C-alpha cells in the first residue's frame, strides 16, 4: 500500500526526450524492512557505536524532535559547548521519527551520509517503508569509542545502528517521475543580474557543504521556513544560472524542475510565497514552528511569474510518483 504522506523531494537525474513527450528520472531513497541492498555496503569495518539503546518515545506531546551530539570539532574548526549538547562521543536523540523531512533516515542517508554535513539540492525522495515510519518516534542513547565528530555519529554510525538494531534496509534507485519545465512567460523575463565578486557561486553539480569554508563567501541558497527569518516560506538563490535555479525550485515544489528558458548568465532570486497544493512540504515545515498562514502573499507559481516573468509548466502526461 502506498503511503501518500511520504514527502517527495526529487532530484533530477536524467531527462529523456521522445516523440511522446518529456519525462524526468529522479533519485529516490527506497525504505523497507526487507532484504534489499542498502546504500552502504555491509562490512565489518563500518563505523559503529560501542554501546547503543533504541526505545519507543513516551510523553513527547507537542515537543519537536531533538538530536544532540558531543563530538569532536570538524577539522580546522572549534566546538563550543552549548546548552543541550551531549557529552563527548555521545549521540542523544529524543522523540524522532524515522521518516519525514527531519527524520533520522534523511539525516543518516542524505544530510550526514558522508560523515560531513552536506545538502543535496534538491534532496532525494523517500519512498516505501511501514505505515508508522512518519508517526512512531524513538529515543536513542549511543556512545562512540572515543571522540568522533557529531556528523559522523549522525551519518555513517547512525546508518549502521538503524540497520543493525531496527533491521532497516535502504537503497538508492532511479525512477520515472513527474516534472515541471521552467520557461519564460509572455514578454521579456525580468531577471536581476548577479553582481560579480559579491559572493562565490555554489557548484550545484555536487552536494553542498553546510560547514563554512574559511576565507570563502559562498552565495546564499535557501529553501524553506526558518524561525530566525520568520514564518514566510522562502526560496532564495544568489549567483545562480537558470539551470541551478530550477534545481532550487524543485526542492520547493517536490518535483524535478527542468530549465527550458535557454537564458545564459547568473542571476539573483528571492521568492516569498504562500504554500498550496504545489508546495505541501513548505506548509508542513511552517507548521513545525507553529506559524499561521497568510492569504496576502501569492503562491509560488504566481510569484515566479509576477516577479521574474518566468513560469512552471507541467510536462505532458506526467503523474506524481509516491513509491512503495
Is the same domain home to 165 and 201?
no
Q: 230 in a domain, yes or no?
A: yes
The whole-model pTM stands at 0.59
Query: What domain count does the chain have?
Result: 2
**How far apart (Å, rounded) are the C-alpha atoms in residues 312 and 133?**
32
Q: Domain boundary at 150, 175, 200, which?
A: 175
Claim to verify: residue 167 and residue 219 sit in the same structural domain: no
Domain boundary among 154, 175, 196: 175
pLDDT, residue 1, reads: 29
Please indicate, yes or no, whether residues 267 and 136 belong to a single structural domain of this protein: no
Residue 209 in any domain: the answer is: yes
> Starting at the edge strand that comes first in sequence, how are the strands of the sheet with 257-259 ordered?
257-259, 180-184, 310-314
Q: Counting runs of H as helices and runs of E as strands, what totals does the chain give? A: 6, 17
Domain boundary (175, 208, 242) is at 175
pLDDT at residue 211, rounded to an integer: 55
List pLDDT tens digits, range 291-321. 555 557 899 999 999 999 999 998 864 433 3
Nearest to 92 by CA among 44, 40, 136, 49: 49
CA-based max dimension of the chain: 63
235 pairs with which residues across the strands?
223, 271
> H helices within 166-279, ranges in order?
242-253
Dump pLDDT digits (tens) for 197-216.
999 998 877 655 555 567 78
pLDDT tens-digit map of 135-172: 899 999 999 998 888 889 999 999 999 999 998 888 77
Nearest-angstrom CA–CA distance, 217 and 125? 30
- Asked whether residue 168 falls in the same domain as residue 245, the answer is no
Tens-digit pLDDT profile for residues 89-130:
899 999 999 988 778 998 898 888 888 877 665 567 777 888
Q: Which domain holds residue 223?
A: 180-314
324 inside domain: no
165: CB partners within 8 A, 6+ apart: 52, 54
Amino acid at each position: 500500500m502506498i503511503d501518500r504522506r511520504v514527502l517527495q523531494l526529487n532530484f533530477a537525474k536524467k531527462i529523456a526526450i521522445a516523440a511522446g513527450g518529456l519525462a524526468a528520472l529522479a533519485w529516490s531513497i527506497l525504505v523497507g524492512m526487507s532484504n534489499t541492498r542498502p546504500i552502504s555496503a555491509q562490512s565489518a569495518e563500518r563505523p559503529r557505536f560501542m554501546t547503543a539503546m533504541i526505545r519507543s518515545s513516551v510523553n513527547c506531546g507537542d515537543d519537536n524532535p531533538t538530536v544532540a551530539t558531543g563530538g569532536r570539532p570538524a577539522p580546522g574548526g572549534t566546538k563550543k559547548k552549548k546548552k543541550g549538547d551531549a557529552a563527548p562521543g555521545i549521540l542523544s536523540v529524543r522523540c524522532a521519527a524515522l521518516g519525514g523531512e527531519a527524520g533520522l533516515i534523511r539525516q543518516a542517508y542524505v544530510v550526514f551520509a558522508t560523515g560531513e554535513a552536506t545538502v543535496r539540492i534538491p534532496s532525494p525522495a523517500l519512498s516505501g517503508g511501514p505505515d508508522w515510519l512518519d508517526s512512531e518516534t524513538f529515543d536513542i542513547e549511543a556512545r562512540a569509542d572515543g571522540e568522533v565528530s557529531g556528523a559522523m555519529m549522525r551519518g555513517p554510525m547512525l546508518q549502521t545502528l538503524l540497520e543493525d538494531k531496527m533491521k532497516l534496509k535502504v537503497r538508492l534507485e532511479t525512477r520515472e517521475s513527474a516534472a515541471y519545465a521552467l520557461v519564460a512567460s509572455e514578454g521579456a523575463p525580468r531577471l536581476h543580474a548577479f553582481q560579480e565578486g559579491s559572493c562565490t557561486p555554489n557548484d550545484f553539480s555536487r552536494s553542498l557543504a553546510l560547514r563554512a569554508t574559511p576565507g570563502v563567501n559562498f552565495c546564499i541558497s535557501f529553501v524553506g521556513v526558518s524561525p530566525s527569518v520568520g514564518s514566510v516560506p522562502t526560496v532564495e538563490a544568489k549567483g545562480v544560472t537558470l539551470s541551478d535555479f530550477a534545481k532550487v525550485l524543485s526542492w520547493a515544489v517536490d518535483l524535478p524542475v527542468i530549465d527550458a528558458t535557454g537564458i545564459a548568465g547568473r542571476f539573483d532570486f528571492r521568492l516569498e510565497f504562500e504554500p498550496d497544493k504545489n508546495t505541501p512540504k513548505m506548509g508542513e515545515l511552517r507548521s513545525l514552528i507553529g506559524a499561521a498562514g497568510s492569504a496576502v502573499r501569492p503562491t509560488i507559481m504566481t510569484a515566479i511569474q509576477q516577479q521574474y516573468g518566468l513560469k512552471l509548466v507541467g510536462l505532458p502526461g506526467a503523474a506524481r510518483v509516491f513509491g512503495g
